[in-house]
Amino acid sequence: MAERERVVDRPRWVTHDVDPERPSVARVYDYLLGGAHNFAADRAIANHVLEAMPELRGMALTNRALLRRMVRHLLDLGIRQFLDLGSGIPGAGNVHEIAHQVDPKAKVVYVDIDAVAVAHGRTILEDVPNAIAWQADVREPKTVLESAEVRAVLDFEQPIAVLMIALLHFVSDSEDPHRIVADYLDPLVPGSYLAISHSGYEEGEEDAAALEVRERYSEQVAETTLRNQAELRSLFLDLEIVEPGVVRMPHWNPESPDDVDETTKRFPGFAALGRKW
C-alpha cells in the first residue's frame, strides 16, 4: 500500500528514472530561485546551507541576473546561437525568451544531466521553434557536440555562445575542466564566445559558513571546487577576455549603479566573457 501511495503522489513532471531521495544541483538551485520543481530532499539540503549562509539565495539570484545580462550583451554583439550547458530547470527569463525578444530566429540548446530539468524544459519548449532541451553529461563534450539533436538546431559554421553559468565549480580538477572547455571550443568558428560564472574566493576570504556550505554540497549534492580569479582566467585558455574582464559577478556590466553596493566587493564568485579569434 505504501508503494502504491508513493506512486500516486509522484508529481506528473517526475520521470521514472529520477530518484527523489537524492538531491540534485539543478533542483537545489531551482529551490533557491523560488521554483517549484524540487523535492523534499532538495529543500532539506538547501535549507540547511541557508541556515549557515542566509545570503546564498541572493547569490543564486545574482547569478541568474548575470546570465540575463550576458545573453543580452551577446545579442548586442550579434550572437544568435546559444549552447547553455548545465542549464538547470528553466525559470522566468530563460535564454530563449531573452534571445527571441531580439530575434525570433535565434537558436538555443539547453543541456543538463538532470532528468527533471530536461523534462520540464521540453514541456516549455514544445511549441517554441529553434530551441530544445537535451539530456547529457556536459563533462562529455563529444557526446553533446556530436548529438544529432544538437546539430539539427545549431549551425557550427556560424558563431555560437557557449554558456557555462554556475557549472564549472561542479567539475573537479581531476575531471580536467580545461580539457572540457577546450573540447567545446575546438569546433567553434572564430567570433564564438564562452561565458563563465564560477563560485570562489581569493585567499583568506572563505569563512566558516562558506566552508560548511562547500562541504555540505560536496557530501550530499555534488563535489564542489571553488576557484579564485586567476584560476577562472585560466579556464578561458587563449580566448580574448572582453571588458570588464574577470570580475566579481555583480560587477560584470551592471545595468545600474544600484546593482552594485559595497558588499559586492567580496562577492563569492567571478564571471567573464571570452571571444574566440
Other CB atoms within 10 Å distance of the CB of residue 161? 26
- With a cut of 70, say whether residue 101 has pLDDT above it: yes
Domain-embedded: residue 219: no
Report the pLDDT value the prediction gives residue 5, as an integer from 0 to 100: 36
- 242: domain CATH number is 3.40.50.150
Residue scoring higher pLDDT (10 or 79) = 79
Residue scoring higher pLDDT (6 or 75) = 75
- With a cut of 60, say whether residue 131 has pLDDT above it: yes
- With a cut of 70, say whether residue 1 has pLDDT above it: no
C-alpha closest to that of 123 among 9, 14, 10? 14
Report the pLDDT value the prediction gives residue 15, as an integer from 0 to 100: 61
| Residue-by-residue DSSP string for 188-207 | SPTT-EEEEEEE---TT---
Structural domain span for residue 159: 64-202+224-275
Q: What is the mean pLDDT of residues 121-134?
A: 95
Do the Cβ atoms of 95 and 67 come closer than 8 Å?
yes
Do the Cβ atoms of 143 and 137 come closer than 8 Å?
yes
Do the Cβ atoms of 259 and 250 come closer than 8 Å?
yes
- With a cut of 60, say whether residue 264 has pLDDT above it: no
Domain-embedded: residue 26: no
Report the pLDDT value the prediction gives residue 4, as an integer from 0 to 100: 38
Provide the domain count of the chain. Answer: 1
In terms of C-beta distances under 8 Å and separation of at least 24 residues, what long-range contacts does 4-13 make, across chains too?
13/37, 13/116, 13/119, 13/120, 13/123
Report the pLDDT value the prediction gives residue 102, as an integer from 0 to 100: 97
Q: What SS3 class is residue 172? A: coil
Domain-embedded: residue 74: yes
Domain-embedded: residue 233: yes
- With a cut of 80, say whether residue 24 has pLDDT above it: yes
What percentage of residues in the chain have a pLDDT greater than 70?
A: 91
Extract the C-alpha cell encoding 189: 568558428
- With a cut of 50, say whether residue 7 has pLDDT above it: no
pLDDT category at 6 given cuts 50, 70, 90 is very low
- With a cut of 60, say whether residue 68 has pLDDT above it: yes
* 164-173 tens-digit pLDDT: 999 999 999 9
Report the pLDDT value the prediction gives residue 152, as an integer from 0 to 100: 98
Distance from the Cα of residue 85 to its chain's centroid: 6
Report the pLDDT value the prediction gives residue 8, as an integer from 0 to 100: 38
What percentage of residues in the chain have a pLDDT greater than 90?
A: 81
Domain-embedded: residue 73: yes
